[in-house]
Structure 1
Amino acid sequence: MSLTSINSWLAFDIGGANIKAADGRGWSHSEPFAMWQDWKRLPDAIAHIKSLHPATHYAVTMTGEIADCFSDRREGVEHIVGSCSIAAGENAVFFYSVDGTLLRADKATHQPLQVAASNWHALARLAGSLAPSGRSWLIDIGSTTTDIVPLAYGQPIPQGMTDWDRLLYGELVYTGMERTPVPALVRSLPHRGSTRPVACECFATSQDAWLLLGGLPENATSNTTADKKPATRDAARIRMARSMLLEPASFTFADAIEAATAIVESQTLVIQDAMGALIQNPLPEDHVVLSGQGEILARRVFDHMGWNPQTVSLKDVLGPELSRVAPAHAVAMIAQQRV
């Protein structure tokens, strides 16, 4: 039954590093939330966002259940479901399942693997509405991961439905624009004509490489970097030096940019390998819906592949703010259409 006319909806996308919210009508909000550290504060965090934009009904999708503060996915799902129920109070709350349905809290906790890691499916349905005919793909590169979802006539047709199967089939690639540790991408980096090993420590991340190359904006108030220092180019230079155990004072911006270029090249090849295995015989008439903050990286991959597909950018369709919270926006739109 459609309740759009009498009820208002607010949807949450609860991840391991961020909480995002949208009402499906243009309002959105995103804030950092380190699930692995602050899971006990989750009800308060949700309640705070709820207070910013009250609604009568709530819908939730998630990926944060995989955080290592939980013993397994079931415990993670139960905690997220319970936290949302506490924050919602007397308001109805539903949870998005990978089969496209919305489940009440009791059913969600009895079917935890149905609601775990479900946000990609909602996003794929939104992408499908923008590429309704023929063969198409959703490529979503976020802060942590890359989703490559095949679509046929507007419907997602993945090989895997769970995150572990999607990882196996290459439809989920664990690399993103911000949170990928440098040693997960390279074991050595160029430096003034030589090659230096990289310390297997999270001294720097992909965020630093993209900051240095201008692919991400600076944020002097951010504390989500590897050392909790600002997300600025100079701070990224220092973190990059530390990743090779070099003294920051003698590590120039030219040194940092040389290293960042090598890191981004390696990351490009990681995603290219996955896309090459999935998108066999890529054609110019193929449609690709681009999502997430890594659109610049996706286009680098296309260039490497020599592929020039027809692209639709969610940033262009929705605007930069909504595109940043696209899974939450998608769930809100789905919820408005049916319960």
Structure 2
Amino acid sequence: MSRREDRLLLGWDIGGAHVKACLLQGGALRDIAQWPCPLWQGMEHLDAALVQARSRWSQAWNAGVEHAATMTGEMVDLFEDRAQGVAQIALRLARSLGPSLRLFDADSVWCEPRDAGANWRGIASANWSATARVLAPRIADAILVDIGSTTTDLIPLRAGRVAAQGTSDAERLVTGELVYQGVVRTPLCALGPRVPWRGGTANVMNEFFATTADVHRLAGELDPAHDQAGTADGRGKDAPATRQRLARMVGRDACDASEAEWLALARWWKDAQVREIQAQLQRVADAAGLPADAPLVGAGCGVFLAADIARRCERPFLRYAQVALAAPPQDAALAAWADVCAPAVSVALLASARE
């Protein structure tokens, strides 16, 4: 990859539910986009997202844009195992994006697509590592709190280095550095077996009746632009439909309680999620020996939860774009999208620094 002032580079984060991408020009952030990609339903969804990206950035494509990618989509059950997933996604990307494509490999930093099958362990679900590598030299002690639609990454940064104990998803689930909860796709029954109800408590139904998107949407905190996944019942995302899904969780209909009661229940579920992530964060901070005043660096479409956790922990709070970008965009919307798509931005920044 060459160095030049007008160099164009697209960074990609290929997830199991979304494709995220950003455009850098001369190392500066120019544009970011996200598309739904329910990869478990078939590779045609990845193809469709890539077509949309090519349409959005046709001028850059025609000018010879370079590509750098990371992925988590290999985890979906479309594939027999993660090795097959990495290899097949790499092949599909190479066919669409061309010979300039490099894959982020947490072990060796970069990998040719043709070598992805052999090096799948370093490529699989390594997007958190790209983000942490960008942040670590820019901030001495901190914790990256990247809360996405599906998962949360809690990555300690110590003395300018990535201090994560785990590398794979399996290891990070053990250390608490990976919390399998997000602000859109997590089934509500995962947040606790009992909820408060009219002065007492009630069991919840362990069914896919509602998700965390319903909670954060009703509470008015989930940006509609990030609310891209389908609902549990396939119905609308308006307030009445959202309340009906919450009601099913406790064996009721929306008409059985007031709007204020359903909002109170949604806020309880939000609080339950915050408490769980906060407890895991404390475990990670203690293991890394981070000082009590080390800031949290928030990222992901759940950055509003990261800010809430920072307040509860009485830690300073910074957003990814503030730390990662030498010149954060003046456009507030673009800066916010940089937070949401931090791994895509990070893999682009790492690639732009490469000769």
The TM-score, its normalising length taken from structure 2, stands at: 0.87
Describe how 1:32-71 pairs up with structure 2 within 5 A: 32-53=36-57, 54=61, 55-71=64-80
Deviations 1:19-47 (A, max 9, x none): 00012322111011111113234234223
Distance 2:292 2:67 in 1: 40
Partner residue, 1:327: 343
1:230 alignment partner, SS class: coil
Q: Are the structure 2 counterparts of residues 248 and 87 from structure 1 closer, same or farther at C-alpha, using a change threshold of 3 Å?
A: same
For 2:69, the aligned partner's letter is V
Contact 1:28 1:321 in 2 (8 A): yes
Q: Deviations over 1:59-93 (max 9, x none)?
A: 1100111011111101111121011011124x421
For 1:112, the aligned partner's letter is W
**Amino acid across the alignment from 2:50:** I
Counting only pairs closer than 5 Å after superposition, residues 81-92 of structure 1 correspond to structure 2 as 81-89=90-98, 91-92=99-100
Structure 2 equivalent of residue 15 of structure 1: 15
In the TM superposition, what is the alpha-carbon distance from 1:278 to its structure 2 partner?
A: 1.6
Distance in 2 (CA, whole Å) between partners of 1:260 and 1:155 is 38
Letter matched to residue 344 of structure 2? A
Q: What residue number does 1:230 align with?
A: 236
Aligned to 1:271: 277
For each residue in 1:233-285, what CA deviation from the matched residue of structure 2 results, as whole angstroms up to 9, or x when unmatched?
33221110112221223332122112212211221221122112121276453
Q: Distance in 1 between matches of 2:303 and 2:243?
A: 23
Distance 1:315 1:216 in 2: 19
**Structure 1 pair 39/163, CA: closer, same or farther in 2 (3 Å)?**
same
Question: Given the alignment of the two structures, is residue 156 of structure 1 paired with residue 162 of structure 2, yes or no?
Answer: yes
Residue by residue, what CA displacement relative to the aligned partner does 1:272-328 show, whole Å, maximum 9, x if unpaired?
221121212764531321112223322333444xx3223211255551122221111
Aligned-pair Cα RMSD in Å: 2.3
Q: Which residue of 1 aligns with 2:248?
A: 242
Q: 1:107 offset after TM fit, Å?
A: 1.7
Contact kept, 8 Å, 2:169 with 2:178, in 1: the verdict is: yes
TM-superposed deviation, 1:7: 4.4
Does the alignment pair 1:104 with 2:112? yes
Task: Return the offset for 1:337.
Answer: 1.5
Q: Is the 8 A contact 1:65 1:80 kept in 2?
A: yes
Contact 1:130-1:289 within 8 A present in 2 as well = no
Please report how far the alpha carbon of residue 114 of structure 1 lies from its aligned counterpart in structure 2 after TM superposition.
0.9
Distance in 1 of aligned mates of 2:275 and 2:307: 12
Deviation at 1:221, TM superposition (A): 8.8
What residue in structure 1 maps to residue 180 of structure 2?
174
- The runs of 5 or more residues in structure 1 that have no matched partner are none
Alpha-carbon distance, 1:219 to partner: 6.6
State the AA in 2 paired with 1:59. Answer: A
Kept in 2, the 8 Å contact 1:284–1:310? The answer is no
Match of residue 30 from structure 1: 34
**Structure 2: runs of 5 or more not aligned:** 323-327, 330-334
Q: Distance in 1 between matches of 2:7 and 2:310?
A: 43
Q: Distance in 2 between matches of 1:220 and 1:66?
A: 21
Within 5 Å, which residues of 2 pair with 1:307-322?
A: 307-314=313-320, 317=328, 319-322=335-338
Q: 2:198 aligns with which of 186, 192, 197?
A: 192
Which residue in 1 is equivalent to 2:151? 145
Alpha-carbon distance in 1 for matches of 2:317, 2:296: 5
Q: Secondary structure at the match of 1:161?
A: coil
Q: For this pair of structures, how many residues does the alignment match?
A: 334
1:153 positional shift: 3.0
Letter of the 2:33 partner, please give it. H
Distance 1:106 1:223, change over 3 A: closer
SS of corresponding position for 2:171: helix
Q: Would you say the 8 A contact 1:223–1:229 is kept in 2?
A: no
Q: Is contact 1:47-1:88 (8 Å) kept?
A: no
Q: Which moved more, 1:187-196 or 1:144-153?
A: 187-196
The one-letter amino acid of 2:136's match is G
Letter in 2 for 1:125: R
Paired residue secondary structure (1:23): strand
